[in-house]
Amino acid sequence: MSGSDSHVAAVQILAHEILYELGMPVSADVVSRISRRIDEAVSQLVGRERERCVQLCKKRAALWSNTTMASMPMGREESRARANEAGYLADSIGSE
């Protein structure tokens, strides 16, 4: 499992709680295997959501770059700033 100590502890606590709710005996091996599966599932879900957010930000950046406001003198700076901000957010969200 990867992540901070608090992340690892939270996943292990969740594994213990699941086993307890199911009435299954708790062993270090079972907790470790369940914790690993939970961590993998959550990491995949978070990764997909992160990618979805990156794509949304990139679409917004393109929208601001191509809006009619971008071609007007008074709106050019605002449009450029918003497109840059959306691009920055996409880069920030995309990197871990």
Query: Span 51-61, mean pLDDT?
Result: 97
**Tally of structural domains, the chain:** 1
Confidence of residue 74 (pLDDT cuts 50, 70, 90): confident
pTM of the model: 0.75
CB 64 within 8 A of CB 86: yes
Query: Span 11-37, mean pLDDT?
Result: 92
Query: Span 45-72, mean pLDDT?
Result: 93
Handedness of CA 18, 19, 20, 21 (dihedral sign): positive
Give the whole-angstrom CA distance, residue 84 versus residue 88: 6
Q: Provide the domain limits for residue 42.
A: 5-94
